[in-house]
Structure formats: C-alpha cells, structure tokens
Amino acid sequence: MKRTKRKIIHIDEDLCDGCGNCIPACHEQALQIVETPRGPKAWLVKEFYCDGLGACLGNCPKNALSLVEQEAEPYDEEATTTHIKDVLARHIEHQQGNKDGSPELPVEPESKCAGTCPGAAVAHWEKSEEHTGQRIKLASELRQWPVQIHLVPVSAPFLQNADIAVIADCVPFAYANLHQDFLKGKAVLVGCPKLDDTGVYVDKIARIIDEARPKSITIVRMEVPCCSGLTRIIQEAKKRAGRDIPLKEIVIGIKGELLDAVNPTVPEQDND
C-alpha cells in the first residue's frame, strides 16, 4: 500500500504499562494490547484504521501516546467502517443467540482485559464484622437531580457558584461515607472516564466552568489507573475554560480506604 506523510499515533513503549485505557477510546480499533517480552504493551496494529485525530491521547495515564507526522499508510475510512460494522454485527448476532436460548460463550477465568487492565482485574476479599448489630439510618446529602454528567444541564441552577464534586461512578460502592465526607454542600457530577465519551465530558465541564462559575471542584476517583482520566478531563476542561478554579483530588482504594487527598499534579497537554 502506498505510504504518505500524515499525523498518526505513536506509542512510547518505555512509558506504556499496558493498562488498556486507550483501547476503548480508539473507536476505529486501530490499537490493541499485545503481549511482548517486556510485558503487555499497546500497539498500533492497523495504520490505515488510525484517523490521526488523537481521541485516545487523553486516556493514557503514562502519557505514552502522542501524535506524530510521519510516513504511514493512508487512513482508509471505508475499510475502517466495514471493520466496525463487522464487529458490531458479530456482537448483535451473539446477543440475539443468547436471547433465543443459546448457551453463553465460555468465559476464561482471567480475560485478556483483566490481565492487562488493572481497572478490570478481578479481586475478592473477606470483610470482618465491625458493626454493633444496630442498623444506623443516615440521611442523604444529595440535593439535586440528575447527577450523571451527560444529563446535567449546563444551566442547572444548582451549579451556579457551587462547590462541585465530580465523582467516578464506582466510588459510591467502595467508599461508605461518601455522603457525609464528599457530597454535603456540593453539586454532584458523576461519570466514568474509561467507558464514557470523555471528549463530550471535557466540552461540557468546560462550559460549566465558564458559565456557572463554580467556586471549586473536588475530584473523587478510584485508585485504578484508568480512573485518573477523570482528573485529566477536569484539567483539560479548566484549561479550555481559561478560568483559575481550585481543584482537589481524592483517591479511594478498591477496598474502600481513603488513599490520598491532594491538589492534582496530572500534567496538562497542549492543544497546539
């Protein structure tokens, strides 16, 4: 295939830890996690699937991905679209088969994703009984609806001059005192930086910062690497809005422990 000089994704394997965050962000499926002698690494497996727009860049916690201009196969939109449709068709066929009573496909004890993505690694632990036997009823500190980032209107009155808590959607299941410690007195935005459309989130939160003029933003996320994308989303949104607003980052362990409460230090990326 004839090669041409264009922008394309470059992966620094020295920085890449194989976490897999970039995979769902590459809608063209040009990236895959590949086992190498140095462990799992993200590879650009199909140059002509990569459109060079860089949607995957902000999902890498190690900043291992960058856009470079170099000789590469031209982007083939037709082949990419055909590939995506084929994958979708196989998925729908499988789903329909299960609805008709066909047996589920066998699941390996440790899936490829679980082996390469810390956020999907399966874990289980026993909890000791520490309560007194008396059930304590706590009041909800939530003072708004909706809470999901996609659904909250930029013009919602509860966002105006508010202290906002942006919370990863796994946090409420891990951290028992969420309402008392992080919701009280705050407007709430909830989302997942791994599975949701992060580009939409950046644009929306930038508008919220610009129009609602919040007093502060507290980011509450899980310890897994993919969840650090929530901090980068807020950093980029703040940069786009061009407003100096205090940020605080709270990190929760998968066992529910409070690990950190700091000012974010995630490096900001230039849009130039």
The tens digit of pLDDT for each residue in 5-34 reads 989 999 999 999 988 888 887 878 888 888
In a domain, 77, yes or no: yes
How many domains are there within the chain?
2
pTM, 2 dp? 0.56
In a domain, 269, yes or no: no
In a domain, 145, yes or no: no
Instruction: Assess whether pLDDT exceeds 50 at residue 125.
Output: yes
Higher pLDDT, 133 or 246: 246
Phi first, then psi: give them for residue 263, nearest 5 degrees. Answer: -80, 135
In a domain, 18, yes or no: yes
What is the percent of the chain where pLDDT is above 70?
79
- Please identify, among 51, 74, 108, the residue that sits at the C-terminal boundary of a domain: 108
Q: Are residues 1 and 67 in the same domain?
A: yes
CATH code where residue 71 lies: 3.30.70.20
Q: Are residues 183 and 100 in the same domain?
A: no
Instruction: Assess whether pLDDT exceeds 90 at residue 89.
Output: no
Q: Are residues 185 and 101 in the same domain?
A: no
116-125, 126-135, 150-159: range with highest mean pLDDT: 150-159
- Please identify, among 48, 80, 108, the residue that sits at the C-terminal boundary of a domain: 108
In a domain, 131, yes or no: no
In a domain, 225, yes or no: yes
Higher pLDDT, 175 or 94: 175
Instruction: Assess whether pLDDT exceeds 90 at residue 169.
Output: yes
Q: Are residues 78 and 167 in the same domain?
A: no
Which domain range does residue 202 map to? 157-262
Instruction: Assess whether pLDDT exceeds 50 at residue 190.
Output: yes
> Sorting pLDDT into bands at 50, 70 and 90, what band is 225?
confident
- Please identify, among 78, 93, 108, the residue that sits at the C-terminal boundary of a domain: 108
131-to-126, 127, 258 alpha-carbon distances in Å: 15, 11, 19
For residue 242, the one-letter residue type is G
In a domain, 258, yes or no: yes
In a domain, 231, yes or no: yes
75-to-5, 83, 183, 258 alpha-carbon distances in Å: 11, 13, 46, 45
Can you name the residues that pair with 220 across neighbouring β-strands?
Answer: 167, 250
If one counts every other C-beta atom within 10 angstroms of the C-beta of residue 109, the result is 6
CATH code where residue 218 lies: 3.40.50
Alpha carbons 239 and 268: distance in angstroms, whole number? 8
